[in-house]
Amino acid sequence: MEVQSPQPMQRTTLLLFCLMLVVGARDASADLTAFVGATQTPSTRTAGGVALSISLLFVGFEFEYSDTREDAAAEAPGLRSGMFNIQVQTPNVGGVRLYGTVGGGLYQERLSGHRQTNLGGNVGGGVKIPIAGPIGVRLDYRVFMLGGDARHTNLQRMYAGFNLAF
């Protein structure tokens, strides 16, 4: 059996790929965000939580916990969620970093003593803006898709948070 050497185009592609990895390589980074915002479905309610992100190059992972208050008068349930996400982000461009996330996890919906726990997913994106040193601001928009017998299966949430990079 004869082994063939790579064609010139394949070698060039492989060399360029390795060069991009070396030039673009940097240490892993992480950041912690404490946020406050609003869940807007079916009525606007206060939401708050924390997110922890760990990034390698432009791909990372995020765990996010959030809690939205219940509004019984508007029949808008409270929502707690713990989501694990894959995060794709741009390099710093003028100090600003854009990102997108997709993932899933558990949620608990509650309204007037009724509680339901089930699986859900989310997709969203935002921007991380540095202010001074490791301190920054994070703006985020998410759409949640809730499984099971959720009263509202698609929820939207926007938030702003303080971000600490380390």
Whether 116 is covered by a domain: the verdict is yes
Domain ranges, residue 144: 27-165
Whether 37 is covered by a domain: the verdict is yes
Whether 84 is covered by a domain: the verdict is yes
Whether 142 is covered by a domain: the verdict is yes
Segment 62-90 shows an average pLDDT of: 96
pLDDT at 34: 98
Question: Distance (Å, rounded) from C-alpha 49 to C-alpha 56?
Answer: 24
Q: Over 70: is that where the pLDDT of 67 sits?
A: yes
Whether 8 is covered by a domain: the verdict is no
Q: pLDDT tens digits for 103-159?
A: 999 999 999 989 999 999 999 999 999 999 999 999 999 999 999 999 999 999 999
Whether 97 is covered by a domain: the verdict is yes
The CATH number linked to 39 is 2.40.160.20
Q: pLDDT tens digits for 8-29?
A: 777 777 776 655 555 555 556 8
Whether 20 is covered by a domain: the verdict is no
pLDDT at 158: 98
- Would you place residue 3 in the very low, low, confident or very high pLDDT band (cuts 50, 70, 90)? low
Whether 9 is covered by a domain: the verdict is no
Residue 159: strand pairing partners: 37, 140
3-state secondary structure of 131: strand
Q: Over 60: is that where the pLDDT of 1 sits?
A: no
Tally of structural domains, the chain: 1
- Would you place residue 74 in the very low, low, confident or very high pLDDT band (cuts 50, 70, 90)? very high
Take residue 111 and report the two structure tokens written for it.
Answer: 């309204």
Q: What's the mean per-residue pLDDT of the chain?
A: 90
Q: Which of residues 25 and 95 earns the better pLDDT score?
A: 95
Q: Is it true that the peptide bond before 42 is cis, omega within 30 degrees of 0?
A: yes
Cα angle 44-77-107, degrees, rounded to a multiple of 5: 110
Segment 76-93 shows an average pLDDT of: 95
